[in-house]
Amino acid sequence: MRSKFIFQSLFTLTFLVAMLVFILGSCADKAPKHSRAAQAERGEVLFNEHCASCHGENKDMAIVDTMSITPPDLSLIKARRGSANFPVVEMARMIDGRNLVKIHGPRAMPVWGEIFADQGDTEEAIRDKKGELVAYLMSIQK
Ligand code: HEC
């Protein structure tokens, strides 16, 4: 009688521990992937691949002699506006470029929404990339 009880308790305990390990394991898997820091890290990879040629590798502005417009230093977006908050939506739109109202004359910056779509990205993948790029830009503001 007593040994059956011990056996059942041990079984239940083992089961609970296994559940806990499983739950903690899946949390550990998900939280970092969606954290701002992890997003910014993926954004930095994208930035070095697509943007650094004009905006300068790792924060500092590169001078692009062949362009008539000097690409802005993207670590000064907040400073230039004197704003406390990073304009997340506006910058995501600016990067995408497909739905911008054309009031500022010709655009010197490539239309990334179109480029990513042409490379076969789904709208969801494009949204993720913009989110990662914006997270990276937020992380380099001075
Ligand atoms: C061919 C050069 C070039 C490349 C490559 C480029 N940009 Fe730009 N970017 C510019 C120029 C020039 C501007 C100024 C606005 C304009 O004339 O289009 C600009 C403006 C911006 C702005 C607006 C800044 C502000 O303060 O309003 C953001 C944000 C930006 N770029 C992000 C990016 C990101 C992210 C990438 C990579 C996915 C990228 N750029 C790649 C040239 C470039």
Query: The domain spanning residue 80 has which CATH number?
Result: 1.10.760
How many structural domains does the chain have? 2
Judge if 13 and 63 occupy the same domain: no
Q: Say whether pLDDT at 123 is over 60.
A: yes
Q: Say whether pLDDT at 129 is over 80.
A: yes
Query: HSE-up of 63 (CA within 13 Å, CB side)?
Result: 1
98 pocket-lining for ligand 1 (C-beta < 6 Å): no
78 pocket-lining for ligand 1 (C-beta < 6 Å): no
Q: From 70, 109, 132, give the residue whose CB has the most ligand 1 atoms within 8 Å, as the site to mutate.
A: 109
The whole-chain average pLDDT of the chain stands at 81
69 pocket-lining for ligand 1 (C-beta < 6 Å): yes
Residue numbers of the domain that contains 2: 1-34
Judge if 7 and 49 occupy the same domain: no
Triad 53, 116, 66: Cα angle to 5°: 25
The values of phi and psi at residue 107, to 5°, are -95, 130
127 CA → ligand 1 middle, Å: 17
Judge if 23 and 92 occupy the same domain: no
Judge if 28 and 15 occupy the same domain: yes
Judge if 44 and 69 occupy the same domain: yes
- Alpha carbon separation from 67 to 71, 100, 129 (Å, rounded): 8, 21, 25
Percent of the chain with pLDDT strictly greater than 90: 51
- Alpha carbon separation from 142 to 60, 76, 137 (Å, rounded): 11, 6, 10
Judge if 56 and 73 occupy the same domain: yes
Judge if 52 and 116 occupy the same domain: yes
Judge if 81 and 125 occupy the same domain: yes
Judge if 21 and 74 occupy the same domain: no
What is the distance of C-alpha 141 from the center of its chain?
Answer: 15
**Which pTM does this prediction carry?**
0.78
pLDDT for res 93: 95
pLDDT for res 95: 97
pLDDT for res 101: 73
pLDDT for res 89: 95
Q: What is the pLDDT of residues 75-87, one digit of tens each?
A: 999 999 998 999 9
pLDDT for res 5: 57
- Which of 56-65, 108-117, 127-136 is least confident? 56-65
Long-range contacts of 91-95 (CB under 8 A, 24+ apart): 91/134, 91/137, 92/130, 92/131, 92/133, 92/134, 95/130, 95/133, 95/134
58: left (phi over 0), alpha (psi -120 to 50) or beta: left
When computed from its CA atoms, the radius of gyration of the chain, rounded to whole angstroms, is 24
Of residues 94, 79, 74, the one with CA closest to residue 137: 74
Q: Say whether pLDDT at 92 is over 70.
A: yes
Judge if 25 and 78 occupy the same domain: no
Judge if 41 and 97 occupy the same domain: yes
Q: Please identify which residue in the block is written with the tokens 């394991």.
A: 25
Judge if 39 and 27 occupy the same domain: no
- Atom in ligand 1 nearest the alpha carbon of residue 53: 5
Nearest CA to ligand 1 atom 25: 77
Q: What is the pLDDT of residues 6-34, one digit of tens each?
A: 556 655 655 555 555 555 555 555 557 77
- Atom in ligand 1 nearest the alpha carbon of residue 74: 24
